[in-house]
Structure 1
């Protein structure tokens, strides 16, 4: 058995046993990117909540200048 890291999207309101719940989320890979969508049946007391990750640094996008062509009227 290996632990997985999941980004929780929502708690589902599906019927469950007392003390359990369904969560919907994305399993995270080693780099923190989503690798699979999962619906998990969990006992909240067994979950380990981590601190939210720091926002990733955004890489500036480079744009190619649009070509401008002369417009001829009439």
Structure 2
């Protein structure tokens, strides 16, 4: 994982995520852990891609999925740009 990666973190990554979250990676921590598991620092995102909370999460790397970039809304754009 590298800074800026956008992920979907769900039950496949850890049982703590009963509902999947969108997560933008700040960094992967180099802490010693179980084989196949990693600690990530990053931001939990809402549907628009705005940060809700900064978090450190402990997840199974194989259970992480790449997320598509959030779709920009029409709010704040001029009529000409729509």
TM-score tier by shorter-chain length is 0.5 to 0.7
Higher fraction of strand: 2
Work out the CA distance in 1 between the residues paired with 2:48 and 2:71.
13
Structure 2: 5+ residue runs without aligned partners?
1-17, 77-82
Matched residue SS, 1:15: coil
Size of the aligned set, in residue pairs, is 59
4+ long deviations beyond 6 Å:
none
Q: Distance in 2 between matches of 1:26 and 1:3?
A: 14
Which of 23, 30, 46 lines up with 1:6 in the alignment? 23
The one of the two structures with greater contact order (alpha-carbon pairs below 8 A, sep at least 6) is 2
CA RMSD after TM alignment:
2.2
In the other structure, the counterpart of 2:33 is 16
- Matched position secondary structure for 1:27: strand
Bigger-Rg structure (1/2): 1
Structure 1 residue ranges without an equivalent (≥5): 60-74
What TM-score, normalized to structure 1? 0.66
